[in-house]
Amino acid sequence: MNGEVRVERHVGWRGDSALVEDARRPLRRRVARLLQVDGLPATAGLPSERRIAAGVDPRVFYTYPLLFYTSFPDVSLTQLRALSLTGSHLFDYVLTLDEVLDRPSSCVGGSLLLGSLLQREALHGLYELLPPGSPFWSHFDRYFEHFCQAVLREEARHRGLLQPYPRDELELVYSGKSAVAKACLAALAVLGGNERPLAGLEASHDSYYVAFQLADDLADWRIDYERGHYSYPLTVAFLRAGWQQRVESAERPSSPEVAELIAHEGVIEEVRALALNHLDQAAGAVDRMSDGSWHAAIRTTRQRIEDPTLGLGPSAGPLGSAAAPTGVPTTPTGWRGDGRTPATPVAASWRPWLDAGRTPRAPRPTVLEEQFRTLDAAGPARTTGEALCQVGMAIAASRRAFPQYGLAEHLGVSAAELDWLDQHGPWLDGLLALGLDEEPEPWHPDQPDAPGVVPGWVPPAVGRYLGHRMVDRSAQEHPPGTVPTPAVLLRAYRVHAVT
Question: Model confidence over 362-394: pLDDT tens digits?
Answer: 899 999 999 999 998 888 898 999 999 999 999
Residue 313 has pLDDT above 80, yes or no: no
What is the structure's pLDDT at 311?
A: 60
Q: Which of 61-70, 205-214, 309-318, 434-443 has the lowest mean pLDDT?
A: 309-318
Averaged over 60-76, what is the pLDDT? 86
Residue 315 has pLDDT above 70, yes or no: no
Calpha distance 9→6 (Å, rounded): 5
At what angle are helices 425-435 and 415-423 packed, to 10 degrees?
Answer: 80
Stronger pLDDT, 358 or 108, i.e. the higher one = 358
Calpha distance 92→114 (Å, rounded): 9
Tell me the pLDDT band of 449, cut-offs 50, 70 and 90: low
Averaged over 398-426, what is the pLDDT? 91
**pLDDT tens digits, residue range 9-47?**
334 556 777 888 888 889 888 888 888 888 888 777 788
Beta bridge partners of 229: 159
Please give the share of the chain, as a percent, with pLDDT higher than 70. Answer: 84
DSSP character at residue 61: G
What is the structure's pLDDT at 456?
A: 83
Tell me the pLDDT band of 258, cut-offs 50, 70 and 90: very high
Tell me the pLDDT band of 331, cut-offs 50, 70 and 90: very low
Q: Check residue 452 and give left, alpha or beta (phi > 0: left; psi -120 to 50: alpha).
A: left
Provide the 3-class DSSP secondary structure of residue 357.
coil
What is the structure's pLDDT at 329?
A: 36
Q: Which of 67-71, 257-261, 332-336 has the lowest mean pLDDT?
A: 332-336
Quote the strand ranges of 292-352, DSSP E: 345-347
Calpha distance 288→193 (Å, rounded): 19
DSSP character at residue 359: P
At what angle are helices 13-34 and 77-102 packed, to 10 degrees?
Answer: 50
**Nearest Cα residue to 37 out of 453, 445, 348:** 453
**Residue burial 144-168, b: 16+ Cβ < 10 Å; e: rest:** eebbeebbeebeebbbeebeebeee
Tell me the pLDDT band of 5, cut-offs 50, 70 and 90: very low
**Residue at 23: amino acid letter:** A
Average pLDDT over all residues of the chain: 83
Averaged over 164-176, what is the pLDDT? 95
Please give the share of the chain, as a percent, with pLDDT higher than 90. Answer: 47
Stronger pLDDT, 278 or 484, i.e. the higher one = 278
Residue 186 has pLDDT above 50, yes or no: yes
Domains assigned to the chain = 2-306 (1.10.600.10), 345-498 (no CATH)
What is the structure's pLDDT at 54?
A: 65
What is the structure's pLDDT at 2?
A: 39
Stronger pLDDT, 498 or 180, i.e. the higher one = 180
Residue 64 has pLDDT above 90, yes or no: no
What is the structure's pLDDT at 332?
A: 41
Return all residues near 158 (Cβ < 8 A) that are at least 6 apart.
165, 173, 229, 230, 231, 235
What is the structure's pLDDT at 448?
A: 53
Maximum distance among all alpha carbons in the chain? 76
Name, of 49-63, 155-169, 302-316, the range with top average pLDDT: 155-169
Tell me the pLDDT band of 492, cut-offs 50, 70 and 90: confident
Are 176 and 147 contacting, i.e. CB atoms less than 8 angstroms apart?
Answer: yes
